[in-house]
Structure 1
Amino acid sequence: MNPELRELIAGLRAELEGGRPATLVWAQINAGAPADEIPAGLPRPVRELLAAADGILAGAFDLPAAAELPGIQYHLETMPGFTRIADEPQRWLVFGTLHEEPLLLDRETGAVWYFPDADGDEWFMRERFDNVASGLDEFVGHYVFGPGYGRIAFDDDEWWEFLSRHGLTEGDHDGGREA
């Protein structure tokens, strides 16, 4: 994980802790997990994120703690056929959710994938499965803690307002990969 992102996470965690319990409903950034509690089999970027924050609730995003990751892998069993995930499920890791829909990391490339919103259809019924970021640092920095949040989540919720107050919503809302 790049040092700037690690520093941003620590700063936002401190800011949120000052607002407890008011912020717990829409945001929480846990302290990092001890190294011995992060499974060695996880991809390096995920291990680094868990070392910086062992669980992040940020508006529409839920990036669970290390101990909770096995419990969300069931999403791999219900992936649409066109994604070809069923052909190589070991290649993929569900590392969190956006609007309770799976966010996936391709273990081979490090790219982050998701199912873009499609007029209310359930994610497993959608015909699009898009690469939204080339890596986890890019995804977390731009979409969870940056202007991309307004593009794929909300631009009018408490998390967006929090990001805005900290100057993190400025810039290109489409700064990540094209969806």
Structure 2
Amino acid sequence: MNPDLRDLIVELRADLEADQPATLLWGQINQGAPADKISDDVPQPVRELLEVADGVRAGDFEILGTADLDYWRNLLGHMPEFSGVADEPAEWYYLGLLAREPLLLRRDTGAVWWCPQTSNDPFYVREEFEELMPNLEYFLAAYVFGPLYIDVAGDDGWWEFLDEHGLTTVDEDDEEPDE
């Protein structure tokens, strides 16, 4: 995990803790887990996140901590047929939830996958499952702790918290130049 993202998570955790209990309903970033408490089968990018934050509640996002991993790992075999996950559960890692719907990490590429919220139907009948971001770091920076949060979760307490911290606008220096 890049040092800037690591520092941001630590800073946001401190700010959330300073405002408890008011923030507990929509935001909580747990202390990191000791490396020896993280299972060997956890993908490296997730391991790095767990060492900084052993579970994150960020508005509609819930990134799983070490205490929850075994339970959710068992649900990979119950993912809808259209996703293909149940056919190859060892290729996937259950990263967390967005509005109670699965967020998975593909072990071979590190990409974060989801069931896009294209209708009011539950995810298991929408028959859509696709890559959301090419890696965990981009996903965290853009969606969980950044300006794309509002696109998938809306305007809520977490969004207001991100806005107070100047994290709701795209930094033009981060955009790729036109070719």
Given the two structures, how large is their TM-score scaled by the length of structure 1?
0.92
Write out per-residue CA displacement over residues 110-153 of structure 1, whole angstroms, 9 at most, x where no aligned residue. Answer: 00000011221111111211101110011011100001101111
Matches within 5 A, 1:63-74: 63-74=63-74
**Is contact 2:149–2:159 with CA below 8 Å preserved after alignment?**
yes
Q: Alignment partner of 1:48: what SS?
A: helix
Q: Tell me the percent identity.
A: 52
Which residue number in structure 2 is paired with residue 164 of structure 1? 163
CA RMSD in angstroms comes to 1.3
Which residue number in structure 1 is paired with residue 8 of structure 2? 8
| 1:83 positional shift | 1.8
**Is contact 2:94–2:105 with CA below 8 Å preserved after alignment?**
yes
**Is contact 1:75–1:102 with CA below 8 Å preserved after alignment?**
no
| 1:80 positional shift | 2.2
Q: Alignment partner of 1:90: what SS?
A: helix
What amino acid is aligned across from residue 51 of structure 1 in structure 2? Answer: E
Q: 1:43 aligned to 2:43?
A: yes
What is the alpha-carbon distance in structure 2 between the residues aligned to residue 75 and residue 126 of structure 1?
18
Q: Alignment partner of 1:85: what SS?
A: coil
Which 10-residue stretch deviates more, 61-70 or 97-106?
A: 61-70
Q: Alignment partner of 2:86: what SS?
A: helix
What amino acid is aligned across from residue 145 of structure 1 in structure 2? Answer: F
**Is contact 1:55–1:63 with CA below 8 Å preserved after alignment?**
yes
What is the alpha-carbon distance in structure 1 between the residues aligned to residue 153 and residue 131 of structure 2?
16
Structure 1 stretches of 4+ moved >6 Å: none
Q: How many residues align?
A: 172
What amino acid is aligned across from residue 167 of structure 2 in structure 1? Answer: L
